[in-house]
Structure 1
Amino acid sequence: MFRKNNTLINNQGGAIIVEFAFVTFIIVLFIKLLIAIAEYQSISGKLDRLSYSAAGIIRERGRLYPHDPELNQQQVDQLRDLVQRALLNSGVPADNLRMRVETLHFNPIEPPGSRQQQIDEHKSLSFSTGDCSPVQPLRGLVALSPLSQSERWVPLYQVTICLPPPQRYRDLISVSPLPTLKSSAITIGR
């Protein structure tokens, strides 16, 4: 009887199967984590490219809307639809896409030769499609506006695109609430 128990203790054939199952589970979990992080970074990169492209469209909108010099909510909605289609074409679900467009214009320099920037409150606008706020508001970035050769401060435009994190990432990472994917691009006007 003693000899039979001793062979059960020394028989390690079952332990290899248990270790294999455990190691396989850990490897699969690690691969899922890597895929979720790669998807998160991929979507973040797409948002960066799209926000930069949208900022360029806002800057060049004088050619798109020659009879409408002021930016309005309808144009921002059209831009959001364009960004949403671009995301859908790349395979990213864009159901909850939100966007904010900010413009910052300056009053003419008074007196001539002065280097003080005065924001034009009537032309400086902010349009939004959903709850999306930039990391830093455009009014905090006034110093980025260069002085043109015609002695005027060049307008600034900022486009911020927000999207909830991908579903795989939400399923795998149980931190609540998960930060929204956010990308901002700033450009100067003409």
Structure 2
Amino acid sequence: MKESGLVKFKHFWKNKKGAVTIEFLFMSMFLIVLFAFLFDLVMLRSTLGKLDNASYTLVSILRERTQLYDRVAQINIDDHKQFEKLAKKLIYGDQNSNKRIDVVLEYWAQDGSGRRIPNIIGDCKPYKKLSDLSYLSPRSELNNERKIPLYQITLCVETQGLFETILLDKSERSTGLIRSSSMSVSR
């Protein structure tokens, strides 16, 4: 019985009629993996582009606090709720969407009155804390001693990318989430 199996294998090996089928099978598997990779790349980059646009838009609103919020520079919990609704509207098209989006607001001032909301951060963490970026704050034109306050907003959404670890670097991901942070100088 073993010889008949060995004979069939030798006959299969010498007979080239099945070679095209085997090559087709391997090329089909390769193309399926390639298309899955490209689909994942397009979906991740599209989502990351939406996050970048939304975070830049939201930090631009945040920096205008002196104009929009009666000259109150500090951020609070109510601001966080408003920005979460705005982020959902910008990314999902509906501010009451059930899809998860994490928003982290940060404020830094030279006098140490900086703040991060929410204080306890889950999986969505800024790539760099705003206090570590304080050297980017320019000096005031009126008083060269004072540094201008900074704002940073970080947005995170969940993804199910197969090739996420290959396609994204550390600054763009945070434990299963895609992240985008934008920083701006206060007005």
Q: TM-score, normalised by structure 2?
A: 0.75
Q: Indicate whether 1:41 and 2:38 are aligned.
A: no
CA RMSD of superposed structures (Å): 3.0
Read off the aligned partner of 1:185 and give its amino acid letter.
Answer: S
Q: 1:83 to 1:9 in 2, by over 3 A?
A: closer
Which sections of structure 2, spanning at least 5 residues, go unmatched?
A: 1-7, 167-173
Q: Indicate whether 1:144 and 2:136 are aligned.
A: yes
Number of aligned residue pairs = 166
1:24 is aligned, of 28, 33, 36, to: 28
Is the contact made by 1:80 and 1:99 (CA closer than 8 Å) also made in structure 2?
yes
Post-superposition CA distance 1:107-135 (Å, at most 9, x none): xxxxxxxxxxxx333xx211129622111
Post-superposition CA distance 1:45-74 (Å, at most 9, x none): 221221111110101133333386542111
After the TM superposition, which residues 101-112 of structure 1 pair with which residues of structure 2 at under 5 Å, given as runs? 101-106=105-110
Read off the aligned partner of 1:146 and give its amino acid letter.
Answer: P
Q: 1:135 to 1:174 in 2, by over 3 A?
A: closer
Matched-pair identity in %? 26
Is the contact made by 2:65 and 2:72 (CA closer than 8 Å) also made in structure 1?
no
Is the contact made by 1:148 and 1:154 (CA closer than 8 Å) also made in structure 2?
yes
Tell me how far apart the structure 2 counterparts of residues 46 and 160 of structure 1 sit (CA, whole Å): 13
Q: 1:94 to 1:144 in 2, by over 3 A?
A: farther
Post-superposition CA distance 1:81-125 (Å, at most 9, x none): 1111211139xx98221111110123xxxxxxxxxxxx333xx21
* Structure 1 residue 144: Cα displacement: 1.1
Runs (4 or more) in structure 1 with deviation over 3 Å come to 5-11, 67-70, 172-175
* Structure 1 residue 8: Cα displacement: 6.4
* Structure 1 residue 183: Cα displacement: 1.2
Local SS of the residue matching 2:18: helix
